[in-house]
Structure 1
Amino acid sequence: MNLSQYTKEFSYNLQLAYPVILGMLGHTLIGIVDNFMVGNLGSTELAAVSLGNSFIFIGMSLGIGFSTAITPFIAEADAEKNDEKIRTTFHHGLLLCTILGLAIFLLIVLAKPIMGLMNQPEAVVRLASPYIDWVAFSLIPVVIFQGYKQFADGLSQTKYSMYAIYLANVVHVFFNYVLIYGVWGFPKLGIIGAALGTVISRIMMVVFMHYIMKHNVTFKRYFKNFTFEEIKKSILKKIINLGFPSAMQMLFEVALFTAAIWLSGSLGKNSQAANQIALTLASSTFMVAIGFSVTAMIRVSNYRGLKDYKELIVVAKSIFLITIMVELFFGTLFVISHNFLPHLFLNMTDSTQQLDNTEIILIASKLLLVAAVFQISDGMQVVVLGALRGLQDVKIPMYITFVAYWIVGFPISYFLGKHTELGATGIWIGLLAGLTSAALFLYIRFTRLTKKLVLENDNF
Structure 2
Amino acid sequence: MSNKEKTARNATLFALTWPIFIEILLHMLMGNADTLMLSQYSDDAVAAVGVSNQLLMVIIVMFGFIATGTSVLVAQHLGADQKEDAGKIAVVSIIANLLFGVLLSIALFFIGPSLLLIMGLPEELLREATLYLQIVGGFSFIQSILMTIGAVLRSHRFTKDVMYITIGMNILNVIGNYLFIFGPFGIPVLGVTGVAIATTISRTLGLFVIIVVLLYRLKGQLPFTFIHHTFPKYELKNLLKIGIPSAGEHLSYNGSQLVITFFIVMMGTEALTTKVYTQNIMMFVLLFAIAIGQGTQIIIGHQVGARELDQAYKRCIRSLKIAIFVSTSMAIVGYLFSRPLLSIFTDNEQIIVAGSILLLLTIILEPGRAFNLVVINCLRAAGDVKFPVYLGILSMWGVSIPVAYFFGVHLGLGLIGVWIGFIADEWLRGVLMLWRWRQGQWREMSFVDPDKRSKSM
Q: Is the TM-score greater than 0.5?
A: yes
Could you tell me which of 439, 443, 446 is aligned with 1:448? 439
- Amino acid in the other structure paired with 1:209: I
Shift in Å, 1:227 = 5.6
Instruction: Spell out, residue by residue over 1:275-330, the C-alpha distance to the aligned partner (whole angstroms, 9 max, x if none).
Output: 00111122232222221111221111111111121111111111111111111211
Instruction: Show the counterpart of 1:427.
Output: 418
In 2: Cα distance, 1:330 partner to 1:453 partner: 36
Pairing 1:33–2:33 present:
yes
Deviation at 1:65, TM superposition (A): 4.0
SS at match of 1:222: coil
Is residue 328 from structure 1 mapped to residue 319 from structure 2 by the alignment? no
Long gaps (5+) in structure 1: 1-8, 349-356
Distance in 2, matches of 1:138 and 1:172, equals 15
Residues 141 and 202, structure 1, Cα contact 8 Å, conserved in 2: yes
Paired AA for residue 199 in structure 1: T
Q: Displacement of 1:415 after TM fit?
A: 1.6
Write out aligned runs for 1:112-191 (5 A). Answer: 112-191=113-192
Give, in whole Å, the separation in 2 of the partners of 1:10 and 1:171.
Answer: 35
After superposition, the Cα gap between the structure-2 partners of 1:149 and 1:452, relative to the gap in structure 1 and judged at 3 Å, is closer
Unpaired stretches in structure 2, ≥5 consecutive residues = 1-8, 451-457
**1:120–1:266 Cα contact (<8 Å) kept:** no
1:378 aligns with 2:369: yes
Match of 1:248 in 2: 248
In 2: Cα distance, 1:10 partner to 1:271 partner: 47
Within 1, Cα distance between the matches of 2:159 and 2:322? 19
Q: Distance in 2 between matches of 1:208 and 1:37?
A: 26
Is the contact made by 2:253 and 2:396 (CA closer than 8 Å) also made in structure 1?
yes
Which one is further off, 102-111 or 70-79? 102-111
What is the rounded CA distance, in whole Å, between the counterparts of 1:362 and 1:299 in structure 2?
Answer: 42
Question: Which residue is equivalent to 1:360?
Answer: 351
The answer to whether the 8 Å contact 1:98/1:143 transfers is yes
Given that residues 91 and 224 in structure 2 are in contact (C-alpha distance below 8 angstroms), is that contact kept between their aligned partners in structure 1?
Answer: no
Describe the shift of the 1:66–1:286 C-alpha distance in structure 2 as closer, same or farther (beyond 3 A): farther
Match of 1:284 in 2: 284
Cα distance change of structure 1 residues 93 and 225 upon mapping to structure 2, 3 Å threshold: closer
Letter in 2 for 1:221: G
Tell me the equivalent position of 2:101: 101
Residue range with higher mean Cα deviation, 84-93 or 178-187 = 178-187
After superposition, the C-alpha distances for 1:380-411 in whole angstroms (9 at most, x for unaligned) are 20111110111111112110111111111111
Are the equivalent residues in 2 in contact too, given 1:19–1:162 (CA < 8 A)? Answer: yes
TM-superposed CA distance for 1:85, in Å, is 0.6
C-alpha distance in 2 between matches for 1:452 and 1:305: 11
1:18/1:259 Cα in 2 relative to 1: closer, same or farther (>3 Å)?
farther
Matched letter for residue 305 of structure 1: G
Contact 1:94 1:147 in 2 (8 A): yes
1:407 equivalent in alignment to 2:398: yes
Q: Deviations over 1:240-280 (max 9, x none)?
A: 11111111111222333333333222211110000001111
Contact 2:379 2:442 (8 Å CA) reproduced = no
- Matches of 1:432 and 1:227, distance apart in 2: 48
Provide the C-alpha distance between the structure 2 equivalents of 1:190 and 1:273, rounded to a whole number of angstroms: 17
Residue 427 (structure 1) shift? 0.9
Cα distance change on mapping 1:227 and 1:123 into 2, 3 Å: farther
Q: Is the 8 A contact 2:88 2:222 kept in 1?
A: no
Alpha-carbon distance between aligned partners in 1 of 2:121 and 2:406, rounded to the nearest angstrom? 19
Q: Secondary structure at the match of 1:127?
A: helix
Distance 1:212 1:101, change over 3 A: same
Query: Structure 1 CA distance, aligned partners of 2:157 and 2:90?
Result: 14
Q: Aligned to 1:340, what secondary structure does the other structure show?
A: helix
Q: How far has the Cα of 1:343 moved from its partner?
A: 0.6
Q: Aligned with 2:440: secondary structure?
A: helix
- The separation in 2 between residues aligned to 1:137 and 1:284, in whole angstroms, is 28
Quick one: structure 1 residues 372 and 108, their matched pair in 2 at CA, closer, same or farther if it must change by over 3 Å? Answer: farther
- Residue of 414, 429, 436 corresponding to 1:438: 429
> 2:224 & 2:114 partners in 1: Cα distance?
43
In structure 1, the partner of 2:221 is 222
Identity, % of aligned pairs? 22
Secondary structure in structure 2 of the residue aligned to 1:120? coil
Answering whether residue 309 of structure 2 is matched by residue 309 of structure 1, we say yes
Quick check: 1:97–1:146 contact (8 Å CA) kept in 2?
A: no
Q: Which residue of the partner structure matches residue 455 of structure 2?
A: none
1:4: which partner in 2? Answer: none
**Equivalent AA in structure 2 for residue 408 of structure 1:** V
Q: Which amino acid aligns with 2:36?
A: F
Task: Give the partner amino acid of 1:156.
Answer: R
1:128-177 CA-partner distances (Å, limit 9, x unpaired):
11110011124211110111111112122211111111111111111111
Counterpart amino acid of residue 343 in structure 1 = S
Identify the residue that residue 268 of structure 1 maps to in structure 2. 268
- Please give the secondary structure, in 2, of the residue aligned with 1:41: coil
Secondary structure at 2:204's aligned position in 1? helix
Instruction: Verify the 8 A CA contact 2:335 2:356 in the aligned structure 1.
Output: no
Residue in structure 2 matched with residue 354 of structure 1 by the alignment: none
**Does the 8 A contact of 2:91 with 2:223 survive in 1?**
no
| Distance (whole Å) between structure 2 residues aligned to residue 121 and residue 417 of structure 1 | 20
